[in-house]
Structure 1
Amino acid sequence: MSIRLPLLALLVFSLAPIFASAATAADRFALVIGNAKYPDADAPLKEPINDARSVADELKRDGFTVEIGENLTGDGMRKAFERLYGHIKPGSVALIFFSGYGIQSNRQSFMIPVDAQIWTEADVRRDGFSLETALGEINNRGAGVKIALIDASRRNPYERRFRSFSAGLAPVIAPNGTLVMYSAALSSVMSDNGGDHSLFVQELLKEIRVPDLMAEETLNRTRVGVTRASRSEQVPWISSSLAEDFSFIPGARPTASLPQQPAAATPPPPPAPRVDLPAPPKAETPALPPPEKPAVASLPTNEPPPPPPQPALADDPTIKSLTAKLVENPDDAGSLYRRGQVYASKGAYDLAIKDFGDTIRLNPKDVEAYNNRCWVRAVTGELQPALRDCNEALRLRPNFVDALDSRGLVNLKSGLNKNAVADFDAALRINPRLTSSLYGRGLARQRSGAISDGEVDVNNAKAMDPNIVKEFASYGIR
């Protein structure tokens, strides 16, 4: 519901298919990337660099020729991928590991370089690196086994800049001979554990070090280990189309190469529980019911939230850059809109509203500016102006999912619960994984008296995004 985007953290792709017993060191190539220092984030990520180094060390012991890159820009990532592609020939093995931020866009998952300039969904496709594209290129070069291991479901610093996003990662459409693993369920996000390594990599390294395990079994055991260690709060997702046997360690290696390795592997544990995502709502007519009369008084839980503590906004490097552009050209609508997004993400709502208003003055048909101003006004409690903005956005772009989601928030805060349910229903028909609409519909249903249906929506939304309750609380809704 916020101006947000979803996250990518770790990415591992594996290699060209050959029989495990026939694979040699020359056949195995790995690209390992750890991106931690993103200028748009408040602080560097703690886990990706350590995770990348540990994974690279392990892969070297397993016979891979490894290239490791840290805090790569878009140009650096592009060159690194090209070098990997250049190594691959028919029958070789190629592995890619990426740890950093990632974003789901247009049903694909993108790895994000540290210098990405992301303000709209189109920027994700321009600056990000598609998982599907990378797997497809590896396959085109002749690799038979492709394995993608992705620990990428982090909240990212771009999510409040635009609304057209779904949290977490998308299912991948991969060529035959591919094994894909995400560290968390589809379209879900997890918080980092605050340690030196992610839980996913901790469990992955344990299982990779077990000799003679087929790759699918290695990843299944990793999934079970993560699920148990997190008490089912983090349940990895796996998809496989492997046609050949592949093992990271096709035979026992010297004990010295196995630090702290148990004497014998335990039998694989039973399958981990799954988090079921909600089914898409039934395709009902998109028409909204007649508007309800506004409640006489606002609900006590809908008081506007206090603004968060403000840093020196003028010192923010992004704001400084955009302001400098506006000094040169006050009618730069793009810079006004982007600065408004940054202000909104930092809780400077009055400044955001002004910039969105100036954007609309320069371009009266800027549907994104109307929608984002609607959302900011909804958060601050300016409900009637917010409703006008959302209605205009939907007039300009009918069935605009983000504006439906925003108007649902406006109606929810106004006590117009039937209208809120209708808006959230319409949004979910377009994007059944839009967590904010699912949670908002659950609250609206509960307030309308449909307690059990509302609880189902709320619980499903919380399973998809454990932070959704805190997010709505920041809007003044509990």
Structure 2
Amino acid sequence: MAKHPGSLSIFLLLFFLILIEISPALGALSSQPGIHELFEKGIRSCRKGDFDEGIRYFNSILQMEPSHYLAYLNRGIAYKDKNAYDQAIVDFNHCVQLDPGNAEAYFQLGVVYGNQAKLEEAILQYSIAIIVKPSHPKSFAARAMMHSLNGGLNSAIDDINQAISTDPEFPMFYIVRGQFLDEQGDCRAAISDFEKAMEADSEIFNTKG
């Protein structure tokens, strides 16, 4: 399908959005001695960028408690950040088997498929995340990115509108919608959105490059 001229810049912008919005899922959900400490160590290791060490901590948790879905979720995020996508997919699927209402796991599956340029699969996972948790603005924003890359600009605008409706204080959403509107030829509306973004964060264009 045809791509829009600004698709690459939108992809990079939303990729940054996803990176800054994602944080590890906290809460050890276990009464077993030592689980909480291992979980916190795994989170800290991943935050430092030592994903291998974080994975080892989550491995230890799963040996002790195989039903610990947050260990699967966070180990999957670590694998994703290492670009070990097949292992990440396995872990996210384990997470949703144990916790079918976990919107973050479906979102993360969408990120993995999007990184592999499997746009339809990514759209499906983001859609499930939205069904599970309708107030999940980053899923709307990420699905908008996939629609744009897949040639569905109108659907992309619909989704970013939903993201803004859910979280109207987040200036990056206005920049993304402004880019979509600019691609659609509505320059006046695009400028209005860029101005809204600057009203919310006067340094946004400097800090986001």
**TM-score normalised over the length of structure 2:** 0.67
Q: Which amino acid counterpart does residue 366 of structure 1 have in structure 2?
A: N
Structure 1: 5+ residue runs without aligned partners? 7-117, 124-156, 162-310, 470-478
Could you tell me how far apart the structure 1 residues matched to 2:175 and 2:116 are?
20
The CA deviation string for residues 385-443 of structure 1, in whole angstroms up to 9 with x for no partner, is: 11111111121222322221221122122121111111111111221232442232122
The residue that corresponds to 1:4 in the other structure is 20
The residue that corresponds to 1:353 in the other structure is 89
The residue that corresponds to 2:24 in the other structure is 119
Larger radius of gyration: 1
Q: Which amino acid counterpart does residue 386 of structure 1 have in structure 2?
A: A
Q: Which amino acid counterpart does residue 105 of structure 2 have in structure 1?
A: A
The residue that corresponds to 1:221 in the other structure is none
CA contact (8 A) 1:371 1:389 kept: yes
The CA deviation string for residues 39-86 of structure 1, in whole angstroms up to 9 with x for no partner, is: xxxxxxxxxxxxxxxxxxxxxxxxxxxxxxxxxxxxxxxxxxxxxxxx
Could you tell me how far apart the structure 1 residues matched to 2:90 and 2:205 are?
31
| Match among 333, 338, 342 for residue 74 of structure 2 | 338
The change in CA–CA distance for 1:468 and 1:413 in structure 2 (over 3 A counts) is farther
Question: Shift in Å at residue 341 of structure 1?
Answer: 1.9
| Match among 141, 163, 180 for residue 427 of structure 1 | 163
Q: Which amino acid counterpart does residue 119 of structure 1 have in structure 2?
A: P
Could you tell me how far apart the structure 1 residues matched to 2:171 and 2:27 are?
21
Q: Which amino acid counterpart does residue 332 of structure 1 have in structure 2?
A: H
Question: Shift in Å at residue 3 of structure 1?
Answer: 4.3
Question: Shift in Å at residue 456 of structure 1?
Answer: 4.7
**Secondary structure of the residue that 1:4 maps to in structure 2?**
helix
The residue that corresponds to 1:324 in the other structure is 60
Could you tell me how far apart the structure 1 residues matched to 2:120 and 2:165 are?
26
Q: Which amino acid counterpart does residue 321 of structure 1 have in structure 2?
A: Y
Q: Which amino acid counterpart does residue 204 of structure 2 have in structure 1?
A: M
The change in CA–CA distance for 1:378 and 1:437 in structure 2 (over 3 A counts) is farther
Could you tell me how far apart the structure 2 residues matched to 1:446 and 1:420 are?
13
The residue that corresponds to 2:204 in the other structure is 464
CA contact (8 A) 1:340 1:356 kept: yes
Q: Which amino acid counterpart does residue 2 of structure 1 have in structure 2?
A: I
The residue that corresponds to 2:190 in the other structure is 454
CA contact (8 A) 1:408 1:424 kept: yes
- After superposition, where does 1:232-381 map in structure 2 within 5 Å? 316-381=52-117
331-340 or 345-354, larger mean C-alpha shift: 345-354
**Secondary structure of the residue that 2:18 maps to in structure 1?**
coil
Count of matched residue pairs: 173
Question: Shift in Å at residue 348 of structure 1?
Answer: 3.5
**Secondary structure of the residue that 1:445 maps to in structure 2?**
helix
The change in CA–CA distance for 1:329 and 1:389 in structure 2 (over 3 A counts) is same
Structure ranking higher in helix proportion: 2
The CA deviation string for residues 94-130 of structure 1, in whole angstroms up to 9 with x for no partner, is: xxxxxxxxxxxxxxxxxxxxxxxx723789xxxxxxx
Structure ranking higher in strand proportion: 1
| Alignment RMSD (CA, Å) | 3.3
**Matching of residue 416 in structure 1 with residue 152 in structure 2:** yes
The change in CA–CA distance for 1:317 and 1:402 in structure 2 (over 3 A counts) is same
The change in CA–CA distance for 1:4 and 1:347 in structure 2 (over 3 A counts) is farther
CA contact (8 A) 2:25 2:73 kept: no
